[in-house]
Amino acid sequence: MPQRMPFIAGNWKMYKTAAEAARTAQDLLARLGLGTISGVEVMIAPPYTALDAVGRVLAQSSVQLGAQNVFWADEGAYTGEVAPGMLADLGCRFVLIGHSERRQYFGETDESVGRRISAALRHGLAPVMCIGETEAQRDAGQTFSVLDKQITDGLRNQISDRLGTLVIAYEPVWAIGTGKTATADQAQEAHRFIRGKLAELLGDSFAAATRIVYGGSVKPGNIVELMAMPDIDGALVGGASLKAETFADIVRYRAQ
Ligand code: PGA
């Protein structure tokens, strides 16, 4: 089985000015020991307006820069949107796609997620495709069918030879920002299902090599048990990534 490098990502959502974000990034690097983090890939996704400032701070480190969304066209008359090439130009290596807040508030669909994934891959950005069921869907026993549709529709017709850079973030909507974490067993069950689905769609070796990370109220107190699960390859961290100290503790989960 291929070794999957653990991936710990911070999603700063709509928090922090450019100066605040740069300061937090500096603080994080100071705590992690500038570029010497080994055995884990770390990514920060600040707001668009802070990408440049944070990118400059991260430039001499191994911490990667990511964006929180991307539009699917290469350029054009799309007021207010940001193109994938613009993100790559600022040094982004990753981009979150289809976060549940985008789906909930901004009309993101599995079809638009698919278009954004293609655009990201075209420009060498690694897509972090976010999927997950709502509380009502879980209660109705629809978790697996929802995940099935999100994966199948989001990855339909993706023919890029860069698809291997894809990361999947399983984020049960009921666990995001609520303090309710899925238990490690619940998360593992969903991750195992997702890996099985990837195997069905893209083959066993693709599935075995693809990182599937968990998101939803991850904190220093639950990261260790999550990471102990065989199909959990990392975390997408919202609230607990806003403070360098807490995020650094999550990144260094092995030291706990
Ligand atoms: P949370 O957010 O860690 O604050 O629950 C996770 C996310 O939205 O990616």
Instruction: Residue 188: give its domain's CATH number.
Output: 3.20.20.70
Instruction: Name the 3-class secondary structure at 225.
Output: helix
Tell whether 225 is covered by a domain. yes
pLDDT value of position 202: 95
- 3-state SS assignment for residue 5: coil
Residue 250 lies in a domain: no
Q: Is residue 25 part of a domain?
A: yes
pLDDT of residue 133: 97
- Catalytic sites, residue numbers: 99, 171
Tell me, yes or no, whether 247 lies in a domain: no
What is the reported pLDDT for 2? 58
Q: For ligand 1, atom 2, which residue shows the shortest CA distance?
A: 238
- Give dist(CA 230, CA 21) in Å, integer: 33
Ligand 1 centroid vs 100 CA: distance in angstroms? 10
Question: What pLDDT does residue 180 have?
Answer: 80
In angstroms, what CA-CA distances link 230 with 98, 105, 182, 198, 227?
25, 33, 16, 16, 8
What residues flank ligand 1, with Cβ below 6 Å? 11, 171, 176-177, 215-218, 236-240
Ligand 1, residue 240: give the atom nearest the CA.
Answer: 3
Range of the domain at 103: 7-241
In the chain, the amino acid numbered 204 is D
Which is the closest atom of ligand 1 to the Cα of 178?
A: 5
Whole-number pLDDT of residue 34: 59
> What is residue 199's predicted lDDT score, i.e. its pLDDT?
96
Residue 55 lies in a domain: yes
Q: How far, in Å, CA of 256 to CA of 247, rounded? A: 13
| Domain assignment present for 19 | yes
What is the chain's pLDDT, residue by residue, as a tens digit (256 residues)? 458 999 999 999 999 999 999 999 999 999 998 556 789 999 999 999 999 999 999 998 999 999 999 999 999 999 999 999 999 999 999 999 999 999 999 999 999 999 999 999 999 999 999 999 999 999 999 999 999 999 999 998 898 899 999 999 999 999 988 888 889 999 999 999 999 999 999 999 999 999 999 999 999 999 999 999 999 999 999 999 999 999 999 999 998 8
Residue 151 · residue 206 · CB < 8 Å: no
In a domain, 246, yes or no: no
Check: CB of residue 95 under 8 Å from CB of residue 179. no
Q: What is the DSSP letter of 142?
A: -
Measured between alpha carbons, how far is residue 180 from residues 106, 151, 213, 245 in Å? 24, 24, 17, 21
**Domain membership flag for residue 251:** no
What does the alpha-carbon distance between residue 55 and residue 72 come to, in Å, rounded to a whole number? 22
Q: What is the pLDDT of residue 36?
A: 61
- Positive or negative torsion for Cα 231, 128, 138, 154: negative
How far is the CA of 37 from the CAs of 40, 116, 212, in angstroms?
7, 30, 20
Instruction: Measure 125 CA to ligand 1 centroid, in angstroms.
Output: 21
Return the structure tokens found at 45. Answer: 């996704």
Q: Name the residue at shortest CA distance from atom 7 of ligand 1.
A: 238
Domains in the chain, number = 1
Specify the DSSP class assigned to residue 134. Answer: -
